[in-house]
């Protein structure tokens, strides 16, 4: 039996920048429903952008540094149970994460960090592994470890069709 459009599985698509310098990884400390947590510079894919464009945008918004992706570190599918908290219902959320490594540009003076981001910091994989209770998700450390192990895939592994940027004519019954 096929699922109706309302019942279809639709994971949240996210991107993450895995940025390393001299054995340390750039992380953000951010407010989450679970409290202050560490994450790779990351966020959601927005309409009209490729994953590579999204990761460049998210890294700039969260770190105030331009970021140019040069390789795909991995594609991750993970499910999280977020407990009810503060009047918010419990959530069963699945994320599809595209993690990229690349080059980090100079800090853009005067640029403010995205809402919810407290600060950026550099940590070694061992320092990050020592505080799993502070991670936004298990993918934070997994992406760092995969990068440190040399995992890289060409950018063109993920293809963005031109239809992403073309206007879509909607019919009364849908596209």
Residue-wise pLDDT tens digits, 75-115:
999 998 877 777 778 778 899 999 999 999 999 999 999 99
Check the CA dihedral 57-82-28-74 and report its sign.
negative
| Confidence tier at 170 by pLDDT (50, 70, 90) | low
Provide the Cα torsion 79, 65, 28, 90; round to 10°. Answer: -40
pLDDT above 90 (res 47):
yes
Residue 1: its pLDDT value, please?
56
The residue with greater pLDDT, 68 or 163, is 68
Residue 169: its pLDDT value, please?
67
What span, in angstroms and rounded, lies between the C-alpha atoms of 45 and 118?
22
The token pair at 123 is: 């940590």
Which residue intervals of the chain are DSSP H helices? 51-63, 125-129, 139-148
Residue with token string 């309302």: 6
Residue 43: its pLDDT value, please?
97
Average pLDDT rounded to a whole number, residues 112-134: 97
Residue 84: its pLDDT value, please?
73
pLDDT, one tens digit per residue, over 8-22 is: 888 999 999 999 999
Complete domains list, the chain, with CATH: 12-165 (3.90.79.10)
Q: Could you tell me the end-to-end alpha-carbon distance of the chain, in angstroms, rounded to an integer?
A: 23
pTM, to two decimals: 0.88
pLDDT, one tens digit per residue, over 138-162 is: 999 999 999 999 999 999 999 999 9
Phi, psi of 140 (to 5 degrees): -55, -55
Residue 89: its pLDDT value, please?
80
Identify any residues that bridge with 91 across adjacent strands, giving them in sequence order: 82
**E strands in 106-167:** 117-123
Burial classification of residue 87, based on how many CB atoms lie within 10 Å of its CB (0-12 exposed, 13-18 middle, 19 or more buried): exposed
pLDDT above 70 (res 127):
yes
């Amino acid at each position: 039996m096929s699922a109706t459009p309302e019942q279809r599985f639709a994971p949240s698509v996210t991107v993450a920048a895995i940025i390393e310098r001299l054995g340390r990884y750039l992380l953000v400390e951010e407010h989450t429903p679970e409290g202050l947590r560490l994450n790779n510079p990351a966020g959601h894919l927005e309409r009209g952008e490729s994953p590579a464009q999204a990761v460049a945008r998210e890294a700039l918004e969260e770190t105030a540094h331009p970021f140019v992706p040069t390789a795909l570190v991995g594609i991750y599918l993970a499910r999280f149970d977020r407990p009810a908290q503060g009047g918010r219902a419990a959530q069963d959320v699945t994320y599809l994460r595209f993690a990229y490594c690349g080059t980090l540009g100079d800090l853009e003076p005067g640029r403010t960090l995205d809402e919810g981001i407290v600060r950026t910091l550099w940590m070694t994989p061992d320092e990050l592994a020592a505080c799993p209770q502070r991670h936004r998700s298990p993918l934070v450390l997994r992406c760092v470890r995969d990068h440190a192990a040399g995992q890289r895939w060409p950018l063109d592994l993920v293809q963005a069709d031109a239809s992403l940027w073309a206007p879509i004519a909607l019919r009364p019954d849908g596209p």
